Amino acid sequence: MKREKQFRPDKIGDYFRIEWLPLVLVTVSGLIYNIGLLAAPWFEGRLAQCLADILGGNAAASAMAMLVLAYILVTLLVQAARFIKRFYVRRFANNINRRMKGVLYANLVRQSRAALEKEGAGELMTKAISDVDDCVEGMRKFTTEVFDTGVALVGYIVMLLVYDWRLALLSLLFTPVSYVCAAGMKKPVQREGAAYKKAAGALRAATLDRARNAATYRNYGCETAREERYEDVLKNYERTAVRSNVWQSALPPLYLAVSEAGVLFILWFGAKNVLGTGWCAWNIAAFTTFLSCFTKLVVKSSKVAKLFNSVQKAEVSWRRIKPLMKLPEQLAPLEVPAPADVTLKNLSFAYADEPIFAGLTLTAHPGDIIGITGPVACGKSTLGRVFLCEAPYGGSAKFGDKEFSNLTPRQISATVGYLGHDPELSADTVKNNVLCGGAQDTAPYLAAAALDGEVRAMEQGRDTVIGPSGTRLSGGQAQRLALARTLAHPRPVLVLDDPFSALDRHTEDTVFANLQTYAKDKVVFLISHRLYHFPQMRQVVFMEDGKTTVGTHDKLMAAVPAYRQLYESQTGGQQNENEQ
């Protein structure tokens, strides 16, 4: 537990420290495996010498059989250690991958909607999936190659030095050259890797856009233009992927060829040793062992260069996700405050230098339903999101005596219930979409949203899976399910953005009546372009051309021609029957 408390997710070393147990098992099995690898060239040399002795009549076939049996047993032991090492290396990598993604996701979901939208869905998907996977893969390969390459290289070098230290030094001259080449390729590999990551994010964003808006592009005849833009993004992705793969995959064979140049010295000076005219006196077993050992060393050394490329790729990914790798705040249970007035004084909002609305002043008491309407793109949804404090606002907006902008994100979550214009539903059951982990009964909330009967008619009732974003539901059902979820998590302030747009008039009447009963101790801001129920609201906010007018329905009918025209165009000039 103490180790967990000290864990720093922005420090790579802490991930190794927290997974100390798998690493201990990797170390023990890795040492056994890589030291055992030294037996292979020794056995190969002994087998070659034994074959020569048998052919010369100096040994029996039984000696060869004993060597083969011993070779098989040692190989089985070495491969068993290899299996254990790889198993725990993979467990180590899986644990880190899960831990990293848990930290990353926890921090992503706590960012503001504006920040997430600014970065883009494609870029976020790349960071959350590809970058973490690449980073962990670099850590896995590093851990693997410390033993499979590092320990093995040391063992092979010691073995070569024992057989003939002069020839060993001479033949190993070319190996460091491959390391220098790999180090020199670091910047190009990182540069092309970063370009590939950026292109991958752009492709994901373009793919999501094309899939999400396919019907719109088809209806308006702009599929060809969007397809051309998508092809440009795809071609850029392909180009960067090819360049990145060339640097990462085509260079290791070059490193291997450079290291293999030392074989020329072994063939020349090793032959002299066998003939008795070299630096040492060798037999066939010694020559075969030395050559086999050097060949295995060169193959292992080529993996060092490949490891450099993997680590450099991981460094690119780590730099991209590191700003998000911090311990997420431990969230305390939500403390929903008691009902209170909502007071707006000269409230205004602007995106950069573009004003959206200004001069909004009103006071709403618990039990009030405040209607908000106006022409398309007049800032209605923007006003609703002001209460979430995703961006700075002008003037004052208070809940009780507390300014909304001074509340913490957790306090805002406990104070404001928000239902956006587009229902955000998960690929889960009706029940889980309503409760979001809660344990209460869904029936009252489905009934309040006039959805209970339709849910009962589904094949599995409340346990019916609705598909991603509620694809199995109609638009009106999706809106009402999202509304039921909002009602199931009561807050003293509710912001409902156009919850009736896809409902028929009868269903809208039912839902609004239920909402009036539900909201007797809450302040509700109801954003809508449908005005049938606005005569029943305590106050109405009409927005147009950046200006806001506040008053009762009757006052706005008398004072604001645009509001009167909008209302009468929907009701045919008749007063709402519920107003009588």
Q: Which two tokens stand for residue 20?
A: 């100390």
- Phi first, then psi, for residue 177 (nearest 5°) are -60, -40
| Range 237-268 burial, b when 16+ CB lie within 10 A, else e | beebbebbeebbeebbeebbebbbebbebbee
* 9 pLDDT more than 70: yes
Contact 346, 360 (CB under 8 A): yes
Q: What is the pLDDT of residues 376-414, one digit of tens each?
A: 889 899 999 999 988 889 999 999 999 999 998 889 999
Strand partners, 397: 344
Specify the pairing of strand 354-364 against strand 402-403: unpaired
How many CB atoms within 10 Å of residue 79? 12
**Mean pLDDT lowest among 76-85, 216-225, 278-287, 554-563:** 216-225
The Cα–Cα gap between 126 and 202 comes to 9
The Cα–Cα gap between 366 and 374 comes to 24
- Phi first, then psi, for residue 531 (nearest 5°) are -110, 15
**Mean pLDDT lowest among 200-204, 345-349, 415-419, 461-465:** 200-204
The Cα–Cα gap between 268 and 261 comes to 12
Specify the pairing of strand 369-373 against strand 539-544: parallel
131 to each of 101, 112, 305, 317, 433, how far by Cα in Å?
Answer: 10, 22, 21, 5, 30
Interacting residues of 284 by C-beta distance below 8 A, sequence separation 6+ = 45, 48, 49, 52, 274
Q: What is the pLDDT of residues 219-267, one digit of tens each?
A: 666 767 777 888 888 888 888 888 887 776 666 666 677 777 788 888 8
> Which pLDDT score is estimated for 219?
66
Query: 567: part of which helix (H) or strand (E)?
Result: helix 561-571
- Please, what is the Cα angle at 542 between 538 and 543, to 5 degrees? 145
User: Positive or negative CA dihedral for 130, 133, 139, 143?
Assistant: negative
Helices (H) and strands (E) in the chain, counts: 25, 10
* 1 pLDDT more than 50: no
> Which pLDDT score is estimated for 4?
47
**Mean pLDDT lowest among 38-42, 472-476, 534-538:** 38-42
Going by C-alpha positions, the residue among 110, 244, 211, 125 that lies closest to residue 469 is 211
Interacting residues of 338 by C-beta distance below 8 A, sequence separation 6+ = 492
The residue ranking higher by pLDDT, 444 or 117, is 444
Interacting residues of 363 by C-beta distance below 8 A, sequence separation 6+ = 341, 342, 343, 344
Task: State the burial class of residue 577 (Cβ atoms within 10 Å of its Cβ: 0-12, 13-18, 19+).
Answer: exposed
* 148 pLDDT more than 80: no
Q: What is the pLDDT of residues 299-338, one digit of tens each?
A: 777 666 567 767 777 888 888 888 888 887 777 788 999 9
Contact 270, 167 (CB under 8 A): yes
- Rg (the chain; Cα; Å): 36
Interacting residues of 499 by C-beta distance below 8 A, sequence separation 6+ = 419, 479, 480, 482, 483, 511, 526, 528
Q: Which two tokens stand for residue 228?
A: 């051309």
Interacting residues of 370 by C-beta distance below 8 A, sequence separation 6+ = 362, 364, 523, 524, 525, 526, 537, 538, 539, 540, 541
> Which pLDDT score is estimated for 550?
96
Give the predicted TM-score (pTM) of the model.
0.63
Interacting residues of 8 by C-beta distance below 8 A, sequence separation 6+ = 14, 327
The Cα–Cα gap between 280 and 272 comes to 9
DSSP of 237-251, one letter per residue? Answer: HHHHHHHHHIIIIIH
Q: Which two tokens stand for residue 355?
A: 């004003």
The Cα–Cα gap between 540 and 395 comes to 20
Position 403, amino acid: E
- Phi first, then psi, for residue 578 (nearest 5°) are -75, -10
418 sits in the region (left: phi over 0; alpha: psi -120 to 50; else beta) called beta
